[in-house]
Amino acid sequence: MRVTQSMLSSNMLRNLSNSYGKMSTLQDQINTGKKITRPSQDPVVATKGIGYRTDLNKVEQYQRNLGEVNNWLDSSDDALDHVGEAVKRLQELVTDAANDSKTSDDRKKIQVEITQIRKQIQDLSNTKVGDKYIFSGTNTLTPLHDGNTFTDTSIATGLNKEVKIEVYDGVQINVNTTGIQLFSDIDAMLEKIETSLGNGSAGTVISGYLSDINNMQNNVLEKRADIGARQNRVEMMENRLESQEIIATKRMSENEDIDLEKAITEMITQESIHTAALSVGSKIIQATLVDFIR
């Protein structure tokens, strides 16, 4: 085959163009730190990257969900802690009122404080996270106590239902504590104690409420123990998600990120090749028709 000057020039220009393309690709990789900047450069890398990003986005969403779970559980535990303190104070007051040395006026003064404790517990039953009532079951927009009475379970059927939040694929955690039974029982007990104190009941009658108060304290502790168990589970889920985040980030980096040292070395090598090609090419295209006529 006869090789002409035109063929040499065309091959040289094509090779130089390819060399510029390789240097451009390497330059983009060094600038961005990524193997590709367009999916068309490597569809396999691009497809895997989408998968890894999806996994990472899911982990981040679950971490946000856990933040909401912690908000509910912490708020529930704090509210019940205050209920426990109120019941403890109630126990002290009833013990004091049961003393037969107390006069009717003394017991009425105690009654006034118990009335305030009752109102405080009613307020605690309406504890909210954001705009949601956390002790109202799935009826999160309905207060447990409307200022007069507690909501009737026969009307609001969701009061004893669980509110769940997804914290992992197929894993949900119950974030609420159903409080209608607990708060209504405490309120009914307080109403009876108020009535007894107001009617001037004997000390033996008043002391009879101490066992009921003790039972209520145990009920509050049981609720808090259940919350504590769920908080421990949430902590384990947080650790698991942190591990999954590290794994997903590592895989994504291995798939997309370049080896910077290797890329710089390849860039220097390609520049040397390109410089040599330019030097040789300049000699090839020097000859003109006038040079051949000479």
Percent of the chain with pLDDT over 70: 80
What size, in residues, is the chain?
294
Three-state DSSP class for 200?
coil
Average of per-residue pLDDT across 136-152: 91
Average of per-residue pLDDT across 29-41: 71
Tokens of 239: 């650790």
Put simply, whether the predicted model's pTM sits higher than 0.85 gets the answer no
Q: Tens of pLDDT along 52-81?
A: 888 899 999 999 999 999 999 999 999 999
Residue 171 has pLDDT above 80, yes or no: yes
Average pLDDT, the chain: 84
The DSSP element (H or E) to which 169 belongs, if any, is none
How far apart CA 138 and CA 227 sit, in angstroms, is 17
The DSSP element (H or E) to which 288 belongs, if any, is none
pLDDT value at residue 200: 77
pLDDT value at residue 190: 95
Higher per-residue pLDDT: 262 or 178: 178
How far apart CA 119 and CA 191 sit, in angstroms, is 11
Domain 74-253: give its CATH architecture: Up-down Bundle (1.20)
Tokens of 223: 């609720």
Q: Where are the beta strands (DSSP E) in 24-150?
A: 128-129, 132-133
Around 141, how many Cα atoms within 13 Å sit in the side-chain half-sphere?
0
pLDDT value at residue 100: 81
All structural domains of the chain with their residue ranges:
5-33+258-293, 74-253
Three-state DSSP class for 79?
helix
How far apart CA 100 and CA 91 sit, in angstroms, is 16
